[in-house]
Amino acid sequence: MRTSKPCFACETGTVRGTNLRGRAFDYRDEVDLVFDEDVELPVCDACGEMPLNAAATKRLNDVLERLRAERKRSAVAQFIETIGREYPTIPRAAWEQALGLSPGYLSRLASGNRLADTSLEILLGGFAKDPGAVIELIEATGHMPKLLMTHLARAKRPRRGLTPA
Amino acid sequence: MFNHKCLVNGPKNGLTRLQRMAKTGCAVVHWERAIDPTSRRLGISATEAQHYALETVQRLVATDYVEPVQQRGVWFDIYALYRDRLGWFVKIGEDDDGLLVISHHEPEKGSLSTLPVSWSRWLSQLPRSNQLGERDENVQAVFCV
């Protein structure tokens, strides 16, 4: 590929080799995945379009797929950390039942053997920020299993918001 | 039988030639208007989306053709087709790097009119070498009056 060439997308810019580190991508079901490797790819200096051959696409793909997987695993990790901190007496199985997950699924998500789908990722991430809101949501939809209801009653922790400092 | 306007607006690039480049991978596919929208639409990775776009090019037929468009002095051809029950807008051309896939996404501006059925009959009656294939200059001589 030539060093620089005209951009056919915006018809005004020039496509040049550009380091992608720091560029944010909305990729698949994730937003603002910040590129964290030094990878030089052809980029238009006006519109940001990237004309990619197979090798360049694979390079970009490898980084974005890794970032996407890390984002999803992070949501799971934050959820697990939150339930461990806020509701240490409630077994993980109770949460899995409430979320409609098979037993052990949270562990598989945490280990990276599976990736959470978008809606589950949103739910887990929301729980980490405001557990009470998600618990109320589950209650409102009528999906609160008796197991979790019993444990929450025993936990005697504030239902809404995180533990006060 | 064919009006002058239709003849002038025929494909500017040999489809068979572009399809050969798609098959061999001598191709560049744009991220913002092709790979990324395909990846989102189908829920697949970027690499898979690029393969999908190149496969779409290989599946194009003459009757998928819509119109040509010139961008920065280079002619591109617009095609429209259904694939996997989804409508696709495809814009392709060629430069020094081979096949250029500028666009491969959901149609954004309403329906697209492809080559009429009467044209497909006419095209199928042409000698094989003139069917948007190897001897494209003959076809272009007809189209680009």
B67-90: average pLDDT: 95
B27, B50, B96 ranked by CB distance to A2: nearest: B96
Could you report the per-residue pLDDT of A53-98, keeping only the tens digit for each?
Answer: 999 999 999 999 999 999 999 999 999 999 999 999 899 999 999 9
Chain B residues close to A35, C-beta within 8 Å:
none
- Centre a 10 Å sphere on the Cβ of residue A154 and count the other Cβ atoms it contains: 11
| pTM (two decimals) | 0.81
Least confident range from A157-161, B52-56, B95-99: namely A157-161
HSE-CB for B130 with a 13 A CA cutoff:
13
Nearest Cα neighbor of B34 from B12, B55, B50 is B50
Q: How many helices (H) and strands (E) does chain A have?
A: 6, 6
Task: Report ipTM (2 d.p.).
Answer: 0.84
Contact call for B95 and A5, based on CB within 8 A: yes
**8 Å CB contact of B50 and A52:** yes
**pLDDT tens digit sequence for A110-140:** 988 889 999 999 999 999 999 999 999 998 9
Name the interface residues of B facing A (CB cutoff 8 Å). Answer: 25, 27-33, 35-36, 39-40, 43, 45-47, 50, 71-72, 74, 76, 93, 95-97, 100, 102
Angle at B115 between CA B112 and CA B120, to 5 degrees: 155
CA distance A20 to A141: 43
* Residue pairs between chains A and B whose CB atoms are closer than 8 Å: 73
Q: What percent of chain B has pLDDT over 70?
A: 72
Query: B-contacting residues of A 7-36, CB under 8 Å?
Result: 7-9, 11, 27-29
Measured in angstroms, the CA of A138 and the nearest CA of chain B are apart by 27
